[in-house]
Amino acid sequence: MSIPKYEEIMLPLLELSSDNKEHHVQEAYARLAEKFGLTEEEREELLPSGTQSLFENRVGWARTYLVKAGLLESKKRGYFNITKRGIDVIKENLEEINSEYLKKYPEFIDFLKSVKTNGEKDKSKSTPFKVF
């Protein structure tokens, strides 16, 4: 299997946190890599910058988007937990969560607008960031 895109990680990440417990990102990396059946080589593949694992980067973006939409919250660095809104989304039994779905939340729209205003939008993508 290839390394999943950040949008493919969103729902499994939300499901991972649906136990209402606080989770560390390192735990999420390990559990999601296992869920997606990633090989050790895929887990260790680096971004072109060589500074971070590609998979961890994508999990990070998925987490950021879910936090910005109010489905997850992060009360301290490196940790996250599900919100009531996130639990409600789990109850919808969705097949996927993507950026278009998250646009139903005003906080996420505000996040997208703030990124666009700051001139960081990659106009070749439908998302505000270039995600590998």
In a domain, 126, yes or no: no
Domain containing 108: what range?
Answer: 6-117
Q: Is residue 32 part of a domain?
A: yes
With respect to residue 87, please indicate whether it lies within any of the assigned structural domains. Answer: yes
Alpha carbon distances (Å) from 86 to 17, 19, 44, 117, 131: 9, 11, 30, 27, 23
Quickly tell me which residue has 């969560």 as its tokens: 97
Spell out the per-residue pLDDT of the chain, length 132, in tens.
699 999 999 999 999 999 999 999 999 999 999 999 999 999 999 999 999 999 999 999 999 999 999 999 999 999 999 999 999 999 999 999 999 999 999 999 999 999 887 765 444 444 444 443
pTM value is 0.87
Strand locations in 1-132 (E): 23-24, 72-73, 79-82
- Asked if residue 43 belongs to a domain, the reply is yes
Asked if the structure places residue 129 within a domain, the reply is: no
In a domain, 46, yes or no: yes
**Considering the domain boundaries, does residue 85 fall inside one?**
yes
If one counts every other C-beta atom within 10 angstroms of the C-beta of residue 102, the result is 22
User: What is residue 115's predicted lDDT score, i.e. its pLDDT?
Assistant: 85
Here the CATH number for the domain that contains residue 10 is 1.10.10
Number of domains in the chain: 1
